[in-house]
Amino acid sequence: MKAGMRIDYFLGMILSIGLLAPAAALSASPAKETSEAAAPATVSPGLKYFPDPAYKRLNKDDPPPMSEMVELANQGDTRAMFILGDMSEKGKGGLPQDRKQARTWFEESAMHGYSQSFVRLAAMARHDKNPKEAWQWYTLAINSFDDGGAQDYAISARKELVTAAGLTSEDISQARKAIDDWKDARDKHLRAAKEAAAEKERLQEEQAKKDARALKDQAEKEKAQEDAAAEKDKAQKESTEEENAADDAVKTAAHDEKGKKQDQQEKDDEQN
């Protein structure tokens, strides 16, 4: 399955139960989050959530199911980051259950503008009994979504959170401050990532130039060797030709000398 199709496949499975269904499920008790025995559990009307939507290895030598997804995420694909967050939170797709790693992936995805990750971060905060942080993530989701339905849900969920958790104006003020701090941290993180990418590109270009120079030097060296070999062959050929010419001259001179002697002998014989 091609990378783009694989991402669409996983996202389709994750979102088919409703983007917000995992939030509802995970904001309940930890047992509901990790229980395999309860699956399939209804998390929204008419929709079922099954234990592991990711494929399992058919052969022990197959690569880890999420290896390609990790590679895409490391290349900056925000959807792959979101998928890895989902799989890590649930312990699916061959990944160990690791809520800390899940939060890292969700937050990285959110920092790069993937709006759905804010909702999942809010769900995790509610699960961890941290309503002020959940309010923070819902608010960021509201400001990030351009889809009416998802935005309406985040508004409704934040309103319900305020009532359920009894958040005060002071709590909300602190949450707003946390939003500003998070945005500052995000901007700093993205700048650092951009600078790191630029530096990586610079080093790659520099290495490419070095490689090109090395290839050019090697080509010039090989040509010089070929020219030297050709010059040597030429010199040997000329030397051989000179030697052959000298031998021919000696032979010709000897032949001429022999002819002169024969002529002289013939004259002497005639005189006698």
Residue-level pLDDT at 4: 60
**Ranges of the chain whose pLDDT falls below 70:** 1-58, 64-65, 272
Q: Quick check: is 257 in a domain?
A: no
Assess if residue 72 is contained within a domain: yes
Beta-bridge partners for 47: 44
Distance from C-alpha of 40 to C-alpha of 48, rounded to nearest angstrom: 6
Is 246 within a domain? no
pLDDT of residue 147: 73
| Predicted local distance difference test score (pLDDT) of residue 10 | 67
Any domain includes 140: yes
**Residue 32 exposed, middle or buried by CB count within 10 Å (0-12, 13-18, 19+):** middle
Q: Is 124 exposed, middle or buried (0-12, 13-18, 19+ CB in 10 A)?
A: buried
- Token pair, residue 131, equals 């309503």
DSSP secondary-structure letter at 77? -
Residues 6+ apart with CB under 8 A from 156: none
In order, the DSSP letters of 100-127 are HHHHHHHHHHHHTT-THHHHHHHHHHHH
Asked if residue 86 belongs to a domain, the reply is yes
Evaluate whether residue 248 is within a structural domain: no
pLDDT at 58: 63
> Residue 50 belongs to what domain range?
3-167
Q: Is residue 152 part of a domain?
A: yes
Q: For residues 72 and 87, give the distance between their C-alpha atoms in angstroms, rounded to a whole number.
A: 15
Could you tell me if residue 209 is inside a domain?
A: no
pLDDT the model gives residue 251: 87
Q: Report how many domains make up the chain.
A: 1
Q: Using one digit for the tens of pLDDT, what is the confidence trace for 58-106?
A: 677 777 667 888 999 998 999 999 999 999 998 888 788 999 999 999 9
